[in-house]
Amino acid sequence: MKRNVIVFVMLVVVIMGMLAAGKYLDRNRKHGPIKLVGNVQNVAAPNFDLPALDGRRVKLSDFRGQAVLLNFWATWCPPCKIEMPWFVDIQKQYGKDGLVVLGVAMDDTESAKIAEFTHEMGVNYPVLLGTDQVSDDYGDVRSLPTTFYIDRNGNIVTKAVGLLGRQEIEDDVKKALSSSYKPAKVEPSRAEAVVNAAQAKEATQ
């Protein structure tokens, strides 16, 4: 009995030591310059080039000058499903102010199933097919939903992990929209075309 207690205490000490070492190493781990770690506020959102459900490719940089709500989600995620109708409304309400909602589906399934799901949910914004690379670039997105609010200059205003209330989402959208755009010398923008195409497709369905 006494031996069991000693073994138990030793195991606890070893486990705690390993956890502390892991935390320390993680904090000091070297990351590439484009990967998000820790506090992401005011950090430039990593660019991506992802396929959308309609077949076109979409880059984050296409939307420079507009605020972006970048939502990582999956079909198997009930809280993500709860947020979707809110995002549909928010896209309608704030689209004219320069907001773009982008969904990034992290499903490991064929795109037809994702398309069917988004159609049933009445999604009116572009849905992109996520990859391990984009997840890694955005800080290893494993908890869904995870949403990044990006200002008009491509900087992250805030990051939300898990399901929030609609009012909190709208507050974060307003923060992202409140930024003023400081255009670079070259200003690529296919943003309106992509959003309009998604909305036109939705209208015809």
Partner 1 sequence: MKRLLFGLASFFLAALAFAQTPGDRQPSVILAPLGNVQLRAGGAADLTLDFRIGADFHINSNKPRADYLIPTVLKLNPPEAVEVADVKYPAGEDMTFSFAPNEKLSVYSGDFSISTVLKAPASAAAGTYPVKGELRFQACDRSACYPPKSIPVQFQVTVVKK
Chain residues that interact with partner 1, rule: CB under 8 A:
4, 8, 11-12, 15-16, 19, 22-23, 74-82, 106, 108, 117, 142-146, 161-166
CA distances from 42 to 8, 27, 65, 203 (A): 46, 20, 16, 36
- Decide whether 25 or 186 has the Cβ nearer to partner 1: 25
Residue 156, both tokens:
């992250």
Residue 11, both tokens:
């195991």
Does residue 79 have a cis bond before it (omega within 30 degrees)? no
Q: Which of 53, 60, 69, 80 is catalytic?
A: 80
- For residue 170, the minimal CB distance to partner 1 (Å) is 14
- Decide whether 66 or 118 has the Cβ nearer to partner 1: 118
Amino acid at 186: V
- For residue 166, the minimal CB distance to partner 1 (Å) is 8
- For residue 182, the minimal CB distance to partner 1 (Å) is 30
- Decide whether 5 or 203 has the Cβ nearer to partner 1: 5
- For residue 26, the minimal CB distance to partner 1 (Å) is 9
Contacts of residue 48, defined as CB under 8 A and 6 or more positions apart, other chains included, come to 59, 60, 128, 133, 134, 137
- Decide whether 75 or 189 has the Cβ nearer to partner 1: 75
The residues with which 89 forms a beta bridge, in sequence order, are: none
Say if strands 127-129 and 99-105 run parallel, antiparallel, or are unpaired.
parallel
77 part of the active site: no
Among all residues, which ones are annotated catalytic? Answer: 80
